Amino acid sequence: MKKTLFYGKISIQGRDVMKVRTRFAPSPTGFMHIGNLRTAIFEYLVAKKYNGDFLLRIEDTDQNRKVDGAIEFIYKTLELCGFQIDEGPFNEGDCGPYIQSERKDIYKKYALELVEKGEAYYCFCTESELEAMREHAAARKKPFLYDGRCSKLSKEKIAENLKNGVPYVIRQKMPKTGTTIVEDLIYGKIKIDNSILDDQILLKSDGFPTYNFANVVDDHLMGITHVIRGKEYLDQTAKYNLLYEAFGWEKPTYIHVAMVLGEDGNKLSKRNGDASFMDLYEEGYLPEAIVNYLVLLGWSPETNQEVYTMDELIKAFNENRISKSSSQYDVKKLKWFNAKYIKALDDEKYLEFIRPFLTHDVSDKSQEWADKLLLIYKDHLSYGKEIDEMVNIFFNDEINISAENKAFLESDANIPIVIDTYREELAKITDWTVENIAKVIDIVKEKTGVKGKILYMPMRIKISGVEHGPELPDEIYLIGKEKVIARLS
Ligand code: GLU
């Protein structure tokens, strides 16, 4: 189904604006898995593509899940990813507060408005009454639906209960027959039987709203034109539509997006040990690379361009091309993107990025030596933390040569000659530079008449213990004259 985005006049707090507005609405759990972030990217791109606003709203009505510092953490994440937040808790616009726990009075007012309209009602049922209803439903193998008994209470009874301070919740009065249609940009029209809809709780006994209520009230009051969220909310959306209708509010355009599954095909979760954005960032994945990788999980551009700047993404993004089916996280592909982004950094930016990942002690080395070391790996890294292991050969005082490599060193009569020639020629160098070292390799080649594997491999093994490494002149340079000569002797 193709649908052009609504791009019309909306009223925010009585003020008319002509704008697309989307929001990212995370719970402040201190953990952002990449599926959440991918949703945020889609929300951001839809807003920015239409020159609209991107809002941040903190959904902390489940106070048990709240973590200190989580809001700062969310800001930091979005900032690192290059998002500009137009309105949010730290930069309020006209629709504040942007933290749900600070909006309790607003939800109460709107819940009472629905009670007034006969679209919602007070429910005084106790936990044990509800438990009995649940057991009754379970015995009949039916899903539990509240039986609506409190919707039949007399006005007097309600007034008396309220006066006596009997705890209550407010429930939405659902139609018992007919169907409700949900229209989604990606999934099309979905018909939900009203008979399966529970008279859901809107306001809990502690005065906090449920997510199901708060998201509708907030999306309306914040002028959200496009609700982009995980597909797990799609079935619930019938209830939200009934709320919009009960209030007489215009519904937003819904864009539900399929899940990102973990590498094992399961739902992503912290418990499964799946990497969050911050985990990846701390491992040395560049935020730009993560964003680029994630946007292509579940969205296919019109061309086969794979690497995008944020500006290019904003131009190219097309919400109609979001996939209906779930996608799978693939760390190999992420590494591929990250390597590309690392390679593209200019040397100064690269050094700034990579230095913190080097844990080897370089205090006795020159800055030039350390930078050179890091720079030769620029084109070979797929993430920052990899550097430490890659450079091990430059920090070992002792080298270990495997039996296999020892056998290799004895496999050709030319090898000892090559090694001796290297030693003699390198010893002659007065100005220890990569250039002069490269010249020595040419001299050795000429003098001994060997080339290819025999010219390089024995040398690498003798000076580092292993057959792999960066370009040989770089490797020789970094190990240093003294150590190289000693290891060749
Ligand atoms: N707080 C919800 C979540 O983190 C938001 C869902 C929505 O975008 O409406 O899943």
Write the pLDDT tens digit of every residue in 426-449: 999 999 999 999 999 999 999 999
CB distance 170 to 118 below 8 Å: no
Cα-to-centroid distance, 229 and ligand 1 (Å): 7
- Asked if residue 210 lies in contact with residue 170, where contact means CB atoms within 8 angstroms, the answer is no
- Domain ranges for the chain: 4-88+216-258, 105-211, 277-348, 355-488
What is the Å distance from ligand 1's center to 332 Cα?
A: 29
- Whether 48 is catalytic: no
Average pLDDT over residues 34-47: 96
Atom of ligand 1 at shortest distance to CA of 24? 8
Torsion, Cα of 181, 183, 187, 191 (10° steps): 0
Amino acid in position 188? G
Q: Please state, in angstroms and rounded to a whole number, the distance separating the CA atoms of residues 401 and 466.
A: 7
Q: Which atom of ligand 1 is nearest to the CA of 59?
A: 1
**How large is the average pLDDT for residues 172-185?**
96
Between the CA of 209 and the centroid of ligand 1 the distance, in Å, is 14
Mutate to test the pocket of ligand 1, among 213, 233, 253, 254 (most ligand atoms within 8 A of CB): 233
> CB-based contacts of 110: which residues, under 8 Å, 6+ apart?
213, 217, 247
Question: Please, which residues have CB within 8 angstroms of residue 330's CB and are 6 or more apart in sequence?
Answer: 263
Return the number of other C-beta atoms located less than 10 Å from residue 158's C-beta: 17
How many Cα atoms within 13 Å fall on the side-chain side of residue 329? 25
- Neighbouring CB atoms inside 10 A of 432's CB total 14
Ligand 1 contacts CB of residue 27 (under 6 A): yes
Whether omega before 97 lies within 30 degrees of 0, making that bond cis, reads yes
Q: Is 59 in the pocket of ligand 1 (CB under 6 A)?
A: yes
| Rounded Cα distance, 113 and 120, in Å | 9
Q: Indicate which atom in ligand 1 lies nearest the CA of residue 232.
A: 10
Q: In Å, how far are 115, 168, 488 from 39, measured between CA atoms?
A: 34, 35, 57
Q: Is 406 helix (H, G, I), strand (E, B) or coil?
A: helix
Distance (angstroms) between ligand 1 centre and the Cα of 35 equals 12
**The pLDDT of residue 236 is above 70:** yes
Q: Which DSSP state fits 233?
A: G
Ligand 1 in reach of 215 Cβ (< 6 A): yes
Name the residue with tokens 């985990």. Answer: 279
CA distance 346 to 164: 71
- What angle in degrees, to the nearest 10, is found between the helix axes of 453-464 and 481-488? 110
Mean pLDDT confidence for 370-394? 95
> In 3D, which of 215, 217, 274 has the Cα closest to residue 249?
217
Which residue did the predictor score with more confidence, 197 or 468?
197
Q: Mutation test of ligand 1: which of 61, 211, 244 has the most ligand atoms closer than 8 Å to its C-beta?
A: 211
Question: What is the rounded CA–CA span in Å between residue 2 and residue 242?
Answer: 24
Q: What is the mean pLDDT of residues 22-37?
A: 92
pLDDT in tens, 47-102: 999 999 999 999 998 877 778 899 999 999 999 999 999 999 999 999 999 999 99
CA–centroid distance, 26 to ligand 1, in Å, is 6
Determine the distance separating the centroid of ligand 1 and the alpha carbon of 272, expressed in angstroms.
20
Tell me, using a 6 A CB cutoff, whether residue 100 lines ligand 1.
no
Burial class for 66, CB neighbours closer than 10 Å (0-12, 13-18, 19+)? middle
Q: Give pLDDT, residue 131.
A: 96
The whole-angstrom separation of Cα 272 and Cα 285 is 20
pLDDT recorded at residue 9: 57
Question: Which protein residue's CA is at the shortest distance from atom 5 of ligand 1?
Answer: 25
Q: Tell me if 99 sits within 8 A of 75, measured CB to CB.
A: no
Ligand 1 in contact with 26 (CB < 6 A)? yes
In percent, the amount of the chain with pLDDT more than 90 equals 89
pLDDT band at residue 14 using 50, 70 and 90 as cut-offs: low
Establish whether residue 25 lines the binding site of ligand 1, counting it when its CB lies within 6 angstroms of any ligand atom: yes
105-211 fold: Glutamyl-tRNA Synthetase; domain 3 (3.90.800)
The model's pLDDT over 241-279, given as tens digits with 9 standing for 90+, comes to: 999 999 999 999 999 999 999 988 888 877 777 889 999
Percentage of the chain exceeding pLDDT 70: 97
Kindly provide the residue ranges of all beta strands, DSSP E only, lying in 14-144, ordered along the sequence: 15-18, 21-24, 53-56, 120-123
Both tokens assigned to 428: 């002659």
The pLDDT of residue 10 is above 60: no
DSSP state of 154: -
User: For residue range 154-175, what is the model confidence (pLDDT) as tens digits?
Assistant: 999 999 999 999 999 999 999 9
- The sign of the dihedral angle between the CA atoms of 371, 375, 376, 381 is positive
Ligand 1 atom with the shortest distance to the CA of 219: 9
Q: Give domain 4-88+216-258's CATH superfamily.
A: HUPs (3.40.50.620)
| pLDDT mean over 344-362 | 97
User: For ligand 1, is residue 212 a contact (CB within 6 Å)?
Assistant: no
Q: Which of 21, 22, 27, 67 is the best mutation target for the ligand 1 pocket, counting ligand atoms within 8 Å of the beta carbon and taking the most?
A: 27
Give the Cα separation of 57 and 221 in Å (integer).
Answer: 12
pLDDT tens figures, 281-332: 999 999 999 999 999 999 999 999 999 999 999 999 999 999 999 999 999 9
In this structure, of 30-34, 78-82, 196-200, the range with the lowest mean pLDDT score is: 30-34
The answer to whether 297 and 333 have CB atoms below 8 angstroms apart is no
Average pLDDT, the chain: 93
Q: Which CATH architecture has domain 355-488?
A: Orthogonal Bundle (1.10)
Q: Report how far residue 138's alpha carbon sits from residue 146's, in angstroms, rounded to the nearest whole number.
A: 13
Task: Give the DSSP letter string of 304-322.
Answer: ------HHHHHHH--GGGB
Averaged pLDDT for residues 458-474 = 94
**Bridge partners (DSSP) listed for residue 17:** 10
**Centre of ligand 1 from the C-alpha of residue 115, in Å:** 26
**Of 270, 340, 372, 481, which is the active-site residue?**
270
Question: What is the CA(262)–ligand 1 centre distance, in A?
Answer: 19
**pTM, 2 dp:** 0.91
Assess whether pLDDT exceeds 50 at residue 4: no
Is it the case that residue 1 has pLDDT exceeding 70? no
CA dist 52 and 35 (Å) reads 23
Give the C-alpha separation, 129 to 120, whole Å.
Answer: 20
Per-residue pLDDT, 469? 87
CATH of 277-348, one of 1.20.1260.10, 3.30.450.20, 1.10.1160.10, 1.10.275.10: 1.10.1160.10
Q: Using a 6 Å cutoff on CB, does residue 256 contact ligand 1?
A: no
- The answer to whether the beta carbons of residues 216 and 252 sit under 8 Å apart is no
CA–CA separation, 294 and 276 (whole Å): 12
Chain centroid to CA 159? 49
pLDDT value of residue 30: 84
Q: Is 259:329 a contact under the CB 8 Å cutoff?
A: no
Nearest CA to ligand 1 atom 8: 229
Kindly list the distances between the CA atom of residue 480 and the CA atoms of 388, 396, 477, 485, in Å, as whole numbers in the listed order.
19, 12, 5, 9
SS3 state of residue 44 = helix
